[in-house]
Structure 1
Amino acid sequence: MTTATSVVDDLMERFEDTPLRIGTRTTPLATAQTQRVIAAIERLAPGIAIEPVGIETSADLWTGDLSQLGGKGNFTKEIDRALVSGRVDIAVHSMKDVPGDVPLPTGTEFGAYLARGDVHDVVITRDGRALAELPAGSKVGTSAVRRRAQLSLYRPDLITERVRGGIDTRIKKLDAGEYDAILLARTGLERIGLDHRITEVLPTTWADGSTVAVVPAVGAAVIGVQARTADEPVMRLLAEINDDTTARHITAERTMLHMLRGHCNSPIAGHAHTTPDGQLSLFGMVFNRDGSKWVRSHGWGPTDDPASLGAWVADDLLRQGARRLIMATKR
């Protein structure tokens, strides 16, 4: 059996003359997430030399609609190339940005998922009013089709407009008066120290037809660490820092996403968690673009077979017409 000590010994030998290079996006949130990965590695292997390698991605440089650029893969493809070519040894990704319809580069896989953060979406308004208190015609900024679709179920009288840029850039646009409110992920705000700006935390499950709720994105609040499978010392390192519970949840969610063949324009929501009685629960939803039509499914299964649960929920959604809703947004 491989011990943590032998893992560290192999790792220190592998990086005796060169640092462990970590490929990451250059946004403040990506930098903060990479620091979490570095901290996890340093707890296991104190003294190892680590070098973050910032990589600007196509999606970070693009200011238009992401779907026109080709989708979420543009958050990852330049980092993937650096990993495959050997320019970096591991890659750090927000799992919600890893597409479900694009295979990982051959010879790579996610070896670790850090413990999941808070999955709630939140509202930030300029004047402190809750979402329900905003007058009709108020302008709400969000980049996620999933959020727009769910918001329109409850407040079709609000105007939702795409907003791009990092979290700090979006808040500056709000403060400048370009929007009356913006929707963001709570965990991202927490990771860069801007959670004091939160006006309202939205529920993740539907309680009734009059309460705003936003089911999370697949992979929400999860940091994934990818490496080359042939790099055995690094893969063993990632196995040591992996959070098993989060890995099970992500496996269920991404199996569902993969079987649905969701693309960047697909309003797909999915959230897995372990119930108090020890079962694995997965809730999935697929919407059309404006939220006027949707299908939903909720399944339970054993924690040791998350892929089967993800497949069951995907099959159930497809039986209800999810493919038709997804194809209608692929333009």
Structure 2
Amino acid sequence: MSSAELIRIVSRSSPMALAQVERVRAELAALHPGIRTEVVPVTTSGDRWMGDLAQLGGKGAFTKEVDAALLAGEADLAVHCVKDVPADRPLPAGTVFAGFLKRDDIRDALVHPAGRTLDELPAGARIGTSSVRRRAQLAVSHPHLECVPMRGNANRRLEKLAAGEADALLLAVSGLERIGRPGLITEILPVETMCPPIGAGVLGLQCREDDTRTIDLVSGLGDADAWRETTAERMFLHVLQGHCNSPIAGYAKAERDGRLSLRARVFSPDGKTVLDAHEWAGPLDPATLGTSVAVALLRQGARELIDTIPH
């Protein structure tokens, strides 16, 4: 078989990242039975560093080494959790998203060893999370609970929970499903309680923009609704210019009739200030919707709120 029929996929080496790659490999094999794939694993600085992500330059810490492998020609395709790809700046020059896979569950889940829900937890219960988005929203809905910093991939956090470093965890439903642990979920939180991060539940397929062969092969995996929703969300974040310490949340939803909505929120870290916007667009231009929602929040003071948060 010629090398032209091989696609090298670069990925973080965490169990979840590799599970995401396996999904892409399976979907590619179904779409193009003649294609071979191989995985090029990399360990990113974000995976190695267990301190505050802001000190590493934020979410880009999970993508820098992956981008480098792609641009150096060591791989043809990168699979990303879109929520980990910075949207306040463009993708690295020379790369594009060739498609977004059909979206998974965007909600967050509580994992509690004794099966309690968030409302059943006693005052002072320790919730393991390093997410500024989750901490701000818990401060709004459950101010009597305490957040304790917890980094590491989902398996590592579950080990820390078992070791007693927290009483419960907040994790993404989609992440627990990807690592085969959905049975641990004790409560799925509605988006009204815990608004998701931008790009939640979406896997993005990134290629070099001049590699038309790979783009043509993998773009068939893309989902049209996921593309519209993600485009609106990432444009929203781009216009808002949030940084990794900004508690920003939001999600777009494509309806069956073609309408697209975007709900977004910006919080102060203590949850005492909440800015909220929700707009609809017809079947046209998701980027315009993202821009419009960002402007609505800027009118409410989002710029000042974001700029006062250290990063």
TM-score per shorter chain, which class? over 0.9
2:208 partner letter:
R
CA distance in 2, matches of 1:303, 1:41: 29
Residues 1:310 and 2:297 are matched in the alignment: no
How far does residue 59 in structure 1 lie from its aligned partner after superposition?
Answer: 0.1
Q: How big is the shift at 1:45?
A: 1.4
Aligned to 2:170: 183
**2:126 touches 2:146 (CA, 8 Å); kept in 1?**
yes
1:26 aligns with 2:16: no
**Contact conserved, 2:195 with 2:249, CA < 8 A, in 1?**
yes
Are 2:309 and 1:329 aligned? yes
Q: Counterpart of 2:196 in 1: which secondary structure? A: coil
Q: Which moved more, 1:87-96 or 1:98-107?
A: 98-107
Structure 2: which 5+ runs fail to align? none
Q: Does 1:121 align with 2:108?
A: yes
Q: Distance in 2 between matches of 1:280 and 1:235?
A: 26
The residue aligned with 2:275 is 295
Give the whole-Å Cα distance in 2 for the aligned partners of 1:46 and 1:179. Answer: 46
Matched, 1:256 2:231: no
Q: What residue in structure 1 maps to residue 194 of structure 2?
A: 214
CA distance in 1, matches of 2:42, 2:162: 29
Say how many residue pairs are matched. Answer: 311
Q: Which aligned segments of 4 or more residues in structure 1 are displaced greater than 2 angstroms?
A: 275-278
2:141 aligns with one of 134, 146, 154: 154
Give 1:276 shift: 5.1
Hey, what's the Cα distance between the residues in 1 that align with 2:175 and 2:283?
27
Provide the rounded CA distance (Å) in 2 between the counterparts of 1:275 and 1:296.
Answer: 21
Residue 152 of structure 2 corresponds to: 165
Identity, in percent, stands at 50
**How far apart in 2 are the matches of 1:174 and 1:303?**
44
Q: Which amino acid aligns with 1:188?
A: G
Match of 1:58 in 2: 45
Q: Is the 8 A contact 2:7 2:214 kept in 1?
A: no
**Letter matched to residue 23 of structure 2:** R
How many Å separate the matches in 1 of 2:2 and 2:186? Answer: 49
Q: CA deviation at 1:278?
A: 3.3
Name 2:54's counterpart in structure 1: 67
Assess if the C-alpha contact under 8 Å between 2:101 and 2:202 holds in 1.
yes
Give distance in 2, aligned partners of 1:220 and 1:61. 23
How far is 1:54 from its partner?
Answer: 0.5
1:154 Cα deviation after fit: 1.4
d(CA) in 2 for partners of 1:182, 1:221 = 18
The equivalent position to 2:222 in structure 1, one of 216, 222, 242, is: 242
1:87 alignment partner in structure 2: 74
**How does the TM-score come out when normalised to structure 2?**
0.97
Letter in structure 1 aligned against 2:4: F
Structure 2 residue matching 1:115: 3-state secondary structure: coil
Alpha carbons 1:22, 1:50 under 8 Å: kept: yes
What SS does the corresponding residue of 2:152 show, helix, strand or coil?
coil
Q: Deviations over 1:117-169 (max 9, x none)?
A: 00110101122111111111111111211011001101111110111111111
Instruction: Assess if the C-alpha contact under 8 Å between 1:248 and 1:303 holds in 2.
Output: no
